[in-house]
Chain A
Amino acid sequence: MVIIYDIDGTLAQLTPAPKFLATLEGTDEEKLIYLANKDLPTGTKYEITDEDLSDRTFRGAWEYVAGATEKTSEDLSLDDQLKYNKITQEEYDANAG
């Protein structure tokens, strides 16, 4: 499964690293939702799909059109943002309350 979303009018597909997925818990879909929250800008519309996208003919013309399973990426928890260096310890302390 991959994550598909739009970058500048073209369909982008995000492929997870097996080593990273191995650090996560949950179902495959839950892992990809977590990955989308981590690697996509917050608020990005995306879908998780197992469609065969191996035929790259006219790759530059691919477009992302929202489907029924479209999701929106969200912020990771503060702990996970700190874990992945997305925020500093000072920012964490200021927001952790």
Chain B
Amino acid sequence: MSTIKLNGTSSGSSIIKSPDSGSTNQTFTLPASSGTLVTTTDAGVAGITSAADATAITIGSDEQVTISNSNSADNTLTIEALNDNGNEANVKLAGDISGAGMGSGEVAGSIQYFNNTDHIASISGMRDGGDEGQLSFKTRDTSDSAPVERLIIKKDGRGLSQFTAKAWVNFHGTGTPAINDSHNISSITDINTGNYRANFTNTMANNNYSYCGAVGEWDCTVTGNTPNTSYAPCYAINIGSGGLIDKNYVMVLVFGD
């Protein structure tokens, strides 16, 4: 073992020491520009150890810090203070899920939350077919279980959970029926006076869903009938007479599986 000692300009010194063991010849090249190699308070590069590939952590000329995986160069975690447009700071999680056979539900990356070693919650970005994406939110409800999916936001904007509306619609039931706005509704069927169906874009999983409605006038309401997985039957009724009636602003809201 040998050392090189560099004395300080006024006091103290810096020592470069060869390894305690090992028989290979090693070369350390100093950078070609001036500057400080490492700045710490007093103990060198304390706290940084690595058993990984030499390129596991890189800092590019674009000032992005990238952590990569030697098994797949496409699996990366990148931190950038500015994106290509120069106006965003991003943390990017990239998974190598572009291969053939990979389909909906393949996870590109996750933010995972742990209580010590217990995985208690996560947010995952996933494929929803092709290059389309979805987000999955999971939480853990008992100490010995894995996090369970509570909410998934699909590529078409639907939020699937027990607490988000599966569908809603606001339409005119007078004259020529017309849909003012809707979510997960592909059409409405006008069957008779005050008798309509709100047809779902994506059908419900079963008939055990819950729905309700309203009419944009105080003396009328919307009632329902046996739920159908393909549509929600709704009837606009005059509260006073009990008769079916065509009304503007018929509104229906659906929750369920």
Contacts and interface: CB of A to CB of B under 8 A. Distances in A.
B188 A14 contact: yes
B178 A15 contact: yes
B193 interface: yes
Nearest to A15: B177
Contact of B246 (A38, A52, A56): A56
A17 interface: yes
Contacts, number: 79
A14 B156 CA distance: 23
Majority-rule SS of A interface residues: mixed
A5 to B, nearest CB: 9
Nearest to A83: B202
Nearest to B204: A85
Interface string B167-191: 0010100111111011101111111
Contact of B203 (A23, A52, A56, A84): A84
Contacts of B177: 13, 15
Interface in A1-50: 2-3, 7, 10, 12-20, 23, 35, 38-39
Chain A interface residue bracket vs B:
20 to 34
A18 B172 CA distance: 13
A55 B171 CA distance: 17
Given A12-B189, A12-B190, A60-B192, 12 more contacts: A13-B190, A14-B189, A14-B199, A18-B179, A19-B181, A20-B185, A20-B186, A39-B199, A52-B176, A56-B175, A59-B193, A83-B202
B171 to A, nearest CB: 8
Contacts of A69: none
18 contacts: A7-B189, A10-B191, A12-B190, A13-B189, A14-B188, A14-B189, A15-B176, A15-B187, A15-B188, A17-B182, A17-B185, A18-B179, A19-B185, A20-B186, A20-B201, A39-B189, A84-B202, A85-B203
